[in-house]
Amino acid sequence: MKPRFILISSFVTVFLSACAYKDNPPPTVRKIIPARYAGDWHEIARLPNTFERGLVAARATYSVNPDGSLKVVNEGLKANGKITSIEGSARFTNPQEPGRLKVRFNRFPASLFEGDYWILDLNPQHTRAMIGSPNRKMLWLLSKNPEDQKEDFKDFINHAEDLKFPSQSLYFNPKRIK
């Protein structure tokens, strides 16, 4: 009886936390130009997550596929100098909400699920971005300039706080993949 109760309790907890912001999701950008969004994006900061544990730098490279979706190549640098890499794609889910994308990576088990990739803020030049999830558990500050630092993202961090993301928990990468 006890294992069943724990399993049910765990399911309810995960379900409720996933739904916590369902009725109040953060707004996304109203305009994105995929060809301008394409390129190398350096991770300046992120909220801690399990799939980037141990990384001291990360870079995402986007290119536009013929069908309009984005090819995604994520690379991570571990403290020991080893580079990890995974490929996938991101698709636009609704022309009325161009900042809401779904991403899927090719490697199992990541290939089984699509994740939310919401562009919450993007400068007009498409060189700095804030990406997050609707449940506010994921957040990334990205830049096409590997020299950018925390100070360059003050407005984005303030915006994240306004959107109720736990920005005080952001991890700022000490390095960049060049």
Segment 36-79, tens digit of pLDDT: 999 999 999 999 999 899 999 999 999 999 999 999 999 999 99
3 falls within a domain: no
Which of the 8 DSSP states describes residue 48? Answer: -
What's the pLDDT at 152?
Answer: 97
139 falls within a domain: yes
The answer on pLDDT for 4 being more than 90 is: no
8 falls within a domain: no
Q: How confident is the model over 88-96, as a mean pLDDT? A: 95
Q: What beta strand segments (E) does 50-173 contain? A: 55-64, 70-78, 83-92, 100-105, 115-122, 128-132, 139-143, 171-172
- Amino acid identity for residue 168 in this structure: Q
The residue range of the domain holding 167 is: 25-172
What's the pLDDT at 5?
Answer: 34
178 falls within a domain: no
Which among 144, 173, 174, 175 has a CA at the least distance from the CA of 48?
A: 173
Q: How confident is the model over 72-93, as a mean pLDDT? A: 96
20 falls within a domain: no
- Confidence class for position 113, pLDDT limits 50, 70, 90: confident
Compute the mean pLDDT over every residue in the chain, rounded to the nearest whole number.
89
What's the pLDDT at 22?
Answer: 58
118 falls within a domain: yes
Q: How many domains does the chain have?
A: 1
Which of the 8 DSSP states describes residue 25? Answer: P
19 falls within a domain: no
- Amino acid identity for residue 115 in this structure: G
10 falls within a domain: no
Q: How confident is the model over 95-104, as a mean pLDDT? A: 95
Summarised one tens digit per residue, pLDDT across range 14-40 is: 444 444 445 799 999 999 999 999 999
Summarised one tens digit per residue, pLDDT across range 128-146 is: 999 999 999 999 999 999 9
What's the pLDDT at 9?
Answer: 36
Which among 53, 26, 41 has a CA at the least distance from the CA of 171?
A: 53
CATH number of the domain residue 49 falls in: 2.40.128.20
Collapsing DSSP to helix, strand or coil, 152 comes out as: helix
Q: 4-8, 122-126, 157-161: lowest mean pLDDT where?
A: 4-8
Residue 4 or residue 177, greater confidence: 177
What's the pLDDT at 125?
Answer: 96
